[in-house]
């Protein structure tokens, strides 16, 4: 049966129009004037009143970590609970990080992630592939990944999954050949290791040593080094989870010399600052993530970067742990599992503190949550736009209503909400995933209909 979404405002990166939408099966059939749409939908269509609401193309979260082993434990959210929380927040597609662990092939890494995700997802999903062990056979396999729809990769410049500069250079060369793209976690691992050793030797084992040992300079240095490697190879790269002005300035400098750089940031870096690490006891551990939260000035820089179109995507880096898991680091800050939940609240936070606060427009919000990630990660126009022929992935957001974030209400498997008590001025009322109404009045239908998305090559101007 066709569906007719009546009375809403359809938002795209280029503008917004009062228009009705016809969904036919899994696809958007038409978008247009009410009288034309009624005729097209036919008398049998199911009419859904969305008047007063904004209709966004399904949000895409290109940075999640579900069912991931970190610091001797495993994330609180797996693909089931994580995608359930995601879809409630309007995210109809996630891209998680499949990982090749040392000694494994990329094929093995991909098979492991399919095993974790297939049949368990409430929203559509894809994978980036994290490369940690580079050799000629893995280089050959990069083409297999591209053919399998895993067209983006991830490199770490820190952690035990890190790759050195020579390896990064070789991988970039290979990605240029196959038209792949990589996101990179930029932090200088040597500097961090030295600072951590110093802090421990001085007996500074508490949470406040976390930001002190991962300074903005460590991030900016690694970004600069990455971008110089990319400059020589002549390939665009994605700087993931940018946190700070120092890093932003390095990116702007690379762009001034003609490089193409894509930038992602996350709500936690826009809305929270490093004063949270001073909270008593293990309270501050809730906010331990890497890179760490920064200063208010950094938040301001990131907001301005979003408004100026210099930051292309806002993802979550959802990597959730319970307070019990966070307590693994009670005697040693380096043992606190890093990461926070975020998939459930990204859209309403960006609406409230971005659009409603006058920092960005709703069209910019559409770009950074939907259109740009779809283009950057090879899913456009199947995803990222409400247009005839695209997937019927639609977020019905009602502006002008009060809501508040609480751990009690969240679907994520964590026992705390980093932004507990934070006010919201919008609510996600309904979500359609490939034409099916999977969220109604904020309630998620018990259907794990998420499907693997085979992605094409990156295609975003920057
Ligand atoms: N940072 C985190 O805090 N957790 C998971 C991975 C990452 O980059
Ligand atoms: Zn991450």
Q: Is 448 within 8 Å of 114 (Cβ atoms)? A: no
pLDDT given at position 253: 98
Query: Which residues have beta carbons under 5 A from ligand 2 (an ion)?
Result: 317
Distance, in Å, from the CA atom of 244 to the CA atom of 241, rounded to the nearest integer, reads 10
Kindly state the tokens that stand for 187: 């932090």
The whole-number pLDDT of residue 157 equals: 98
Structure tokens belonging to residue 221: 């240095």
Which of 218, 238, 290 to probe ligand 1 with, by most ligand atoms within 8 A of CB?
A: 290
Let me know if the fold of 3-56+384-444 is the same as that of 58-376: no
Any idea where the domains of the chain sit in the sequence? 3-56+384-444, 58-376
CB atoms closer than 10 angstroms to residue 156: 22
Beta bridge partner(s), residue 24: 27
Q: Say how many C-beta atoms besides its own lie within 10 A of residue 46's C-beta.
A: 12
Ligand whose nearest atom lies closest to the CA of 63: 2
Q: Residue 8: its pLDDT value, please?
A: 98
53 Cα to the center of ligand 2, angstroms: 32
State pLDDT tens for residues 219-252: 999 999 999 999 999 999 999 999 999 999 999 9
Cα 141 to averaged position of ligand 1 atoms, centre (Å): 26
Alpha carbon distance 450, 116 (integer Å): 13
- Closest to 245 measured CA to CA, from 212, 227, 223: 223
| Nearest of 4, 21, 11, 87 to residue 54 by alpha carbon | 11
> Does pTM surpass 0.85?
yes
Ligand 1 centre to CA of 95 (Å) is: 15
Q: Whose CA is nearest to atom 7 of ligand 1?
A: 290
Question: Which protein residue's CA is at the shortest distance from atom 4 of ligand 1?
Answer: 339
Q: Residue 142 Cα, ligand 2 centroid: separation in angstroms?
A: 21
Pairing of strands 3-6, 20-24: antiparallel
Q: What is the CATH number of domain 58-376?
A: 3.20.20.140
| Residue given tokens 């609240």 in the structure block | 345
Residues having CB closer than 6 A to ligand 1 are 65, 185, 289-290, 317, 319, 338-339
d(CA 237, CA 235): 7
Q: Which ligand is nearest to the CA of 315?
A: 2
- Identify the CATH number of the domain defined by range 3-56+384-444: 2.30.40.10
Q: What pLDDT, on a 0 to 100 scale, did the predictor assign at position 462? A: 75
| pLDDT < 70 stretches in the chain | none
């Amino acid at each position: 049966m066709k569906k007719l979404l009546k009375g809403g405002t359809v938002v795209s990166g280029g503008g917004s129009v009062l228009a009705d939408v016809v969904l036919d099966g899994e696809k958007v059939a038409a978008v247009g004037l009410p009288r034309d749409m009624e005729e097209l939908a036919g008398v049998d269509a199911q009419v859904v009143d969305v008047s007063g609401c904004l209709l966004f193309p399904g949000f895409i979260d290109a940075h999640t970590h579900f069912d991931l082993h970190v610091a001797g434990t495993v994330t609180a959210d797996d693909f089931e609970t994580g995608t359930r929380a995601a879809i409630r927040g309007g995210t109809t597609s996630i891209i998680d990080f499949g990982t090749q662990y040392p000694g494994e092939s990329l094929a093995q890494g991909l098979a492991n992630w399919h095993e974790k995700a297939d049949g368990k997802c409430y929203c559509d999903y894809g994978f980036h592939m994290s490369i940690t062990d580079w050799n000629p056979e893995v280089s050959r396999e990069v083409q297999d990944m591209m053919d399998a729809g895993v067209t983006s990769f991830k490199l770490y410049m820190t952690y035990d999954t890190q790759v050195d500069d020579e390896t990064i250079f070789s991988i970039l060369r290979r990605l240029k050949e196959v038209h792949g793209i990589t996101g990179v976690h930029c932090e200088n691992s040597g500097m961090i290791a030295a600072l951590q050793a110093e802090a421990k030797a001085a007996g500074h084992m508490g949470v406040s040593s976390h930001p002190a040992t991962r300074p903005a300079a460590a991030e900016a240095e690694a970004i600069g080094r990455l971008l110089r490697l990319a400059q020589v190879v002549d390939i665009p790269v994605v700087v993931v989870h940018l946190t700070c002005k120092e890093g932003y300035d390095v990116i702007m400098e690379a762009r001034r010399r003609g490089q193409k750089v894509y930038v992602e940031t996350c709500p936690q870096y826009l809305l929270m600052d490093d004063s949270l690490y001073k909270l008593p006891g293990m309270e501050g551990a809730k906010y331990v993530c890497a890179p760490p939260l920064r200063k208010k000035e950094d938040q301001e820089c990131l907001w301005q970067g979003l408004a100026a179109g210099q930051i292309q995507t806002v993802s979550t880096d959802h990597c959730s742990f319970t307070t019990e898991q966070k307590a693994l680091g009670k005697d040693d800050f380096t043992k606190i599992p890093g990461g926070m939940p975020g998939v459930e609240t990204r859209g309403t936070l960006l609406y409230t503190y971005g659009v409603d606060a006058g920092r960005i427009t709703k069209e910019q919000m559409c770009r950074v949550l939907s259109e740009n990630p779809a283009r950057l990660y090879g899913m456009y126009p199947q995803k990222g736009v409400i247009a005839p022929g695209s997937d019927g992935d639609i977020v019905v957001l009602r502006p002008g209503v009060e809501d508040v974030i609480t751990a009690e209400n969240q679907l994520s498997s964590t026992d705390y909400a980093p932004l507990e008590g934070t006010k919201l001025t919008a609510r996600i009322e309904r979500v359609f995933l490939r034409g099916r109404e999977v969220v109604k009045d904020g309630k998620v239908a018990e259907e794990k209909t998420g499907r693997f998305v085979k992605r094409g090559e990156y295609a975003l101007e920057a």
